[in-house]
Every structure is written in structure tokens, then in C-alpha cells.
Structure 1
């Protein structure tokens, strides 16, 4: 089943958790992906919640550092999607989750494209504040949608098509 997405110029925080996502590409045009800790084969793009009063760009950079240990100085902002992308979490994931307890049904995301200007040899996920990922890889954008969990596919398809065009 495909999870529908919706686009809005501002986030609907009454029903959706505000979130920032990153598409980070290297000099070869490949995109950074990470495999969720303890979930072999669960690959995704970096993303995370926006704290109260935090702007989306700062949240994206903070989350990327917390999740990967890669500092903001290794990223160069290329562009930002104009709209927020919202989606509902599937019921089986929402049931009993922190989002459900907060009265929310999904996430609304602000996405950014960055160029990675650092050196791959310095990427070390063990330096990350949050141990969200076990491994990472640079991948062609076309592979990423197929590698992610079903409910994220429409989001990734939209984001990658728009940011990388």
C-alpha cells in the first residue's frame, strides 16, 4: 500500500511532527544513505525532529551531526524544497508510538540538498551522539527509493526528483 503525501507551504503541527531531512551528495553525485542500527537492510536518508523554536535548516544540520558525527562544516547548502512534505505513519507503526501519544498521525518534513565537501575517510558513525545508524554508503539516487521502507518511498521519490533535477 502506498502512503499518500501532501505538500503545504507551512507545517501542520496540530497533526504532524515537524522534521528536517537531508539529501547529501558527494562530488560524484552519489547520495549519502545510512542503515538503521539493529535493522539490517533498513536504509534511509538522514532526518530528525525540529525542536521548539528551532529553524528547519539548523535542525537539519544538528540532526545530521547527531546521527552521523559529520559536522556542518563538511556540508554546503545547495537548495531547500519550498514546501513541507507531510505523510501519515502506517497504523502498525503509529500504534503505541511516541507520535500517537502526542496526538499526532505522522510527520511534516522540510528537505534540503547539501553537497558534501569533507573527506570520506573522516566519516565515523561511532562518533555520532545518537547511535541511529550502523553503516553508511554513497548510492545513486535511483537505488535509494527501492532500498527504503515502503511508507517512505513516495516521500523519497518526490524529494529526490525535485532536489536533484
Structure 2
């Protein structure tokens, strides 16, 4: 991972100021994707995601975050694919905590595409002591690109474009559309 700064076992910042992170796209049999509403997010919705801990591979982090954020065990999903290399986004200046050392300027992410193989009832937002989400819904594959907070839109577009080839032809053909409902 080429890490320089380890704040603790859970917070790692690389030499360029990016936090290694995984993003998780969970789809159902109809290729709709799970879209979660963040707790205290004032109607802020996003895909499950989380940091890569010290000594953890991106895939190990993905399975840990999957269970922490949506209560799904590895046997409840099928791994369909992942993005190639790290995708980066920068935080807006108002979110950068300049008093922390090292300063985190954004995230670099590996994205994973999973298919839910368990019943929907296996999704448990309260599986962890500090839940990330308080609601979820299925949305069309490309909907999140325009619905997520603006500074994440480009990385969502890149991730979904790379992962679309693992799904039905209708998702590959929609590549590049900014909004599909």
C-alpha cells in the first residue's frame, strides 16, 4: 500500500494525504444497487464504504465493512469484480481538518461489486454498535452518480463505469449517462 503515516490501526493516510478506502456496490438480481442513507446525514445517501486498516488488504477491508455497515457476511454475497487501481477524490477545503497530523486531503478507493445472494432480510443496518446508515433502498445502477454529494460524483462515475461490464448488457449500454431512473 506504500503507507507513510499510520495514525492508529484504523486510520492510515498515505504520503500524498489520501486515506485508503474501499467502496462497496451491492446489487440485487435485477442489477439495482443498494443505496444507504447516512445517520445524521440530513438526507445524505451513499454506497457503503470504509477505511483500510493497517495490515489489511482491500478485500479484507471490504468484507469487514460489509458486515459493519449492512450486516452482511461473506456467504451472503457473490464477489463479481473490483476496480483496477486506486480511484481518488479530494475533500472540499471545508472538510479538511488542518489541525490533524497528517492532514487527510481525500480518499483513494478500490471499489467492489457484489451480488446479494441471501434474502433482503439479511441486510441489517444495526449490526454494528455504531451504525453508519439508518435507511436503505434499491436504486437503478447509474442513479448514484448524480445523487451522491458533488465531490464524490466523478469517483462514483469511474467506479460504476469500470464495474458495469460485470452486469447485464443494459448496464454496460448506459455507461456515461449522468442520470437514469
1:102 positional shift: 2.6
CA displacement at 1:96 relative to structure 2: 5.1
State TM-score, norm by structure 1.
Answer: 0.86
Q: What corresponds to 2:117 in structure 1?
A: 117
- Give the C-alpha shift of residue 86 in structure 1: 1.2
Displacement of 1:32 in angstroms is 0.9
Q: TM-score, normalised by structure 2?
A: 0.79
> 2:142 aligns to what SS in structure 1?
helix
1:19-63 C-alpha deviation (Å, 9 max, x unpaired)? 111111111100111000012321101110000010000101101
Q: Which has the higher contact order (CA 8 A, sep 6+)?
A: 1
Aligned residues: 154
Say if 2:97 and 2:103, in contact at 8 Å, map to a contact too: no
Partner SS state of residue 95, structure 2: helix
SS of the aligned residue for 1:127 comes to coil
Matched, 1:24 2:26: yes
Of structures 1 and 2, the larger Rg is shown by 2
The answer to whether residue 143 in structure 2 is matched with residue 152 in structure 1 is no
3-state SS of paired residue (1:125): coil
Report the CA distance between 1:11 and its aligned residue: 6.6
Distance 1:11 1:20, change over 3 A: farther
Q: Decide whether the 8 Å contact of 1:85 with 1:155 is kept in 2.
A: yes
- Unaligned 5+ residue runs, structure 1? 1-9
**1:117-143: per-residue Cα shift (whole Å, max 9, x none)?**
110123221223431111011110221
Q: For residue 59 of structure 2, what is the aligned residue in structure 1?
A: 57
CA shift, 1:147, in A, is 1.6
Answer yes or no: is the 8 Å Cα contact 2:21–2:50 preserved in 1.
Answer: yes
Q: Structure 2 unaligned segments of length 5 or more: list them.
A: 4-13, 166-181
Query: What is the root-mean-square deviation of aligned Cα atoms in Å?
Result: 1.7
